[in-house]
Amino acid sequence: MSVIAADRKPASDRKPASDRKLTRAAASSDRRFAAISHALLILWSVIVIVPMLWVLMSSFKSTGEILSSPFSLPDHWRFENYANAWTDANIGKYFLNSVIVVVSALVLVMLLGAMCAYILARFEFPGRRLIYYVMLAGLTFPVFLAIVPLFFQLQNFGLLNTRPGLILTYVAFALPFTMFFLYSFFRSLPHDVYEAALIDGAGDWRAFFQVMLPMARPGMAAVAIFNFLGLWNQFLLPVALNTDQDKWVLTQGMAAYASSQVYDIDYGALFAAIVITVVPVLLVYCVFQRRIAGSVSQGTFR
């Protein structure tokens, strides 16, 4: 109630000239709606942000402080928690593993997905629809249905517990999403540029790499962002298929570190490890957030 009253006053004080046409009822309903909206959004923002801030703050505290007073600021800022987390949890190594696997998979899946989408979108041939729908099915079935056979499939190829194995699996499971997104993108590209390239003597290969792919860049960027988040956050596939501790990715390492903390808990270091894991991605997100919002709308309206 007080929020509404507080909001009403400044709004009626200002009252720009153009607003006079509004009936008084509409204006007050506007304010009520805005006030309720703000209240709701602020409440949700608090629910989202408080746990994160709490983690950040606790990452500088000692275990004793965390246990005795969850709210208070640390009496002295223990940066050593970060050093402990870095060495105990092996974060550096797992981070590097994640980067290697995710970047390789991302490059591969973008290339293969674009190629596949291009063929399906721009060429007519027997079996085209079948391939399209089979991939659609692959997008819908739960990964858990495939996880056990996948384990042995990789073993048969000698790819179990290897980086290439994990990368190929990532590529395979990200492929349908990439293909569908880019499919509609390639469909929408104009035909005449492509024709012109052919007239200029470009073959299919050159037409794709020098003409069509560059034109699809906005679509590629959008999918790449989603694929990156999806692959970076992937947990089930590495846990099942990549059990060699030297090759663990970050999500695995963090899960293991947290569960190793059951008996002699160093809360401060655990929180520091969480911060180290989250911050780089969060920073990247803040830089690209406009683009991400744009990507979602591209995915929705193409």
- Restricted to residues 247-286, the positions that interact with other proteins (CB under 8 A) are 250-251, 254-255, 258-259, 267, 270-271, 274, 277-278, 281-282, 285-286
The closest of 106, 96, 301, 54 to 220, measured between CA atoms, is 106
- Write out the binding residues for other proteins, residues 78-117 only, by CB under 8 A: 112-113, 115-116
Task: Count residues binding other proteins (CB under 8 A).
Answer: 125
Applying CB under 8 A, does 289 fall inside the site for other proteins? Answer: yes
Cα end-to-end span (Å), the chain:
43
Q: Which is nearer to other proteins, 124 or 246 (CB)?
A: 124
Helices (H), 15-159: 24-58, 63-68, 80-88, 91-122, 128-140, 143-156
Over the window 163 to 202, marking each residue x when it contacts other proteins by CB under 8 A and - when it does not, the resulting string is -----xx-xxx-xxx-xxx-xxx-x------xx--xx-x-
Confirm or reject binding of residue 122 to other proteins (CB under 8 A): yes
The least distance separating other proteins from the CB of residue 54, rounded to whole angstroms, comes to 5
Q: Which is nearer to other proteins, 246 or 262 (CB)?
A: 262
Question: Binding to other proteins (CB under 8 A): which residues in 209-248?
Answer: 223, 226-227, 229-230, 232-236, 239-240
Residue with structure tokens 């492929």? 175
Q: What's at 259, amino acid-wise?
A: S
Reading the block at residue 140, the tokens are 């819908």
CB of 176 to other proteins, least distance (A): 7
The CB-of-195 to other proteins minimum distance in angstroms stands at 6
**Alpha-carbon dihedral angle through residues 291, 292, 293, 297, given to the nearest 10 degrees:** 90
Show Cβ contacts of residue 302 under 8 Å, excluding neighbours closer than 6 positions. 184, 185, 188, 219
Those residues with Cβ within 8 angstroms of residue 190's Cβ, 6 or more apart along the chain or in another chain: none
Q: Which of 21, 126, 129, 246 is in the footprint of other proteins by CB under 8 A?
A: 21
Tokens read off for 298? 């591209």
Nearer to other proteins, 29 or 87 (CB): 29
Q: How far is Cα 208 from Cα 214, in angstroms, rounded to an integer?
A: 9
What is the contact mask toward other proteins in residues 25 to 64, using x (rule: CB under 8 A)? -x--xx--xx-xxx-xx--xx-xxxxxx-xx--x----x-
The least CB distance from residue 263 to other proteins, in Å, is 15
Which conformational region is residue 293 in: left (phi greater than 0), alpha (psi within -120 to 50 degrees), or beta? alpha
Which position among 141, 246, 263, 264 is part of the footprint of other proteins (CB under 8 A)? 141
* Separation of alpha carbons 202 and 204, rounded Å: 7
Q: Pick the binder of other proteins from 134, 164, 193, 217 (CB under 8 A).
A: 134
